Amino acid sequence: MDDVQCFCELIPKIELHAHLNGCIRSSTFRQLLSSPTDQTRLDTLDKEFSVGDTHARMANVFEKFSLLRSCVTNLDDIRRIARETLEDFISDNVIYAELRTRPRSFHNGKIPSSSYIEAILDIMKKYEEKICSRLILSIDRTQTLEQAMETLKLAENYRTHIVGLDFSGDPNIKSFERFRPVFDLAKQINLSTTIHIGELPDKECINENNLIIDYKPTRLGHFNFRTNDQEQRVLKEQIPLELCPTSNLLTMNLLDLTEHHFDLFYKNKHPLAICTDDSGLMNCNLSSELFQVVQTFHLTKKELYEFIFQTSNLIFDKNMIEFCQKKLNIFSQQSNL
């Protein structure tokens, strides 16, 4: 194996943007999909995965999410997904991971969303020795304000392991303005926030970017499509960005990373994290994401190390920064960087 690729695998890594259900192994996804019609539909979606423009690709991804949501039907399913996700991160030498998920109930509410969260937190605790993980709760663009408020309350109730609030879901639905009161409350209680921004090239999406930047979340996700003015504001205000190469390439319809905005923000020494987004659905891992970046933009091993070190300052659980930096220091000494 290439020496640099090997380095990307061995270096201790930090994952800050991973949607729990999007991390599902494809073998598990197929096992959970019981009906043959759904299996056939997944085959077709897989085949058409990288066809069409940004809107068509997003539609494909979100149809997969809806299939996925329909086949995760109980706590055992989510326990399995959480367990396998953590195992996959551990074997990729990820030392700290912030996983995000939209809380859900099962069996018409008989199993409440608090049980969903507790099931995930239990798994996280079980793996604590091998990987330190924290949870971020997602508010989905399609939800009601009432549901979003409930999510905020849940985040407050499990404050030790829930470290932030995310805003995600189908970017065709421009609803940040509607949820702004919930995110204002999150700020009031010092809960960190991360908002998906600029995922589509259309005018409405670009306009919504302004509202999101005005809010000034703790971190931003993607920022694929934007105006120069918005770019300058994010740079000036130093709002950290979570970038997800494979996912961004797919949804932006780019051939390779050369045109990706990593370069621009990296050159400006902007706070950045490289992340996987949906490692199962996108068939990637954090090492391969970093390797792509290193290869495309000719980072040295030392520069990659320094990059991951600066990412450690962006983690929501500030108590864990020192832990990550210590591990990175040890690695640097051992590999004579």
Q: How far is CA 1 from CA 7, 9, 15, 79, 296, in A?
A: 10, 11, 23, 34, 18
Residues 193-252 that bind ligand 6MZ (CB under 6 A): 196, 199, 247, 251
Q: How many CA atoms lie within 13 A of 240 on its CB side?
A: 21
**Catalytic residue among 9, 15, 150, 199, which?**
199
The alpha helices in the chain, defined as continuous H runs, are: 3-10, 26-32, 36-47, 54-71, 75-91, 113-126, 145-157, 176-188, 203-215, 228-237, 245-252, 262-267, 279-282, 286-297, 301-312, 321-334
Minimum CB separation from ligand 6MZ for residue 143, in Å? Answer: 10
The interface region with ligand 6MZ, picked from 16-24, 90-98, 106-114, 178-186 by CB under 6 A, is 16-24
Query: Does 15 engage in binding with ligand 6MZ (CB under 6 A)?
Result: no
Let me know if 199 is a catalytic residue.
Answer: yes
Minimum CB separation from ligand 6MZ for residue 78, in Å? Answer: 8
Binding mask 95-114 for ligand 6MZ (x = CB under 6 A): ------xx------------
Q: How far apart are CA 66 and CA 47, in angstroms?
A: 17
Query: How many residues form the binding site for ligand 6MZ (CB under 6 A)?
Result: 18
- Interaxial angle between packed helices 36-47 and 54-71, expressed in degrees from 0 to 180 and rounded to the nearest 10: 150
**Would you give the end-to-end CA distance of the chain in angstroms?**
20
Query: Does 150 engage in binding with ligand 6MZ (CB under 6 A)?
Result: no
Nearer to ligand 6MZ, 9 or 278 (CB): 278
Minimum CB separation from ligand 6MZ for residue 20, in Å? Answer: 4
Nearer to ligand 6MZ, 140 or 317 (CB): 140
Minimum CB separation from ligand 6MZ for residue 278, in Å? Answer: 5
Q: Which residue has the tokens 């195992």?
A: 87
Q: How far apart are CA 172 and CA 175, in angstroms?
A: 9
Nearer to ligand 6MZ, 9 or 199 (CB): 199
Interface residues with ligand 6MZ (CB under 6 A) are 19-22, 61, 65, 101-102, 138, 140, 168-169, 196, 199, 247, 251, 277-278
Catalytic residue ranges:
199
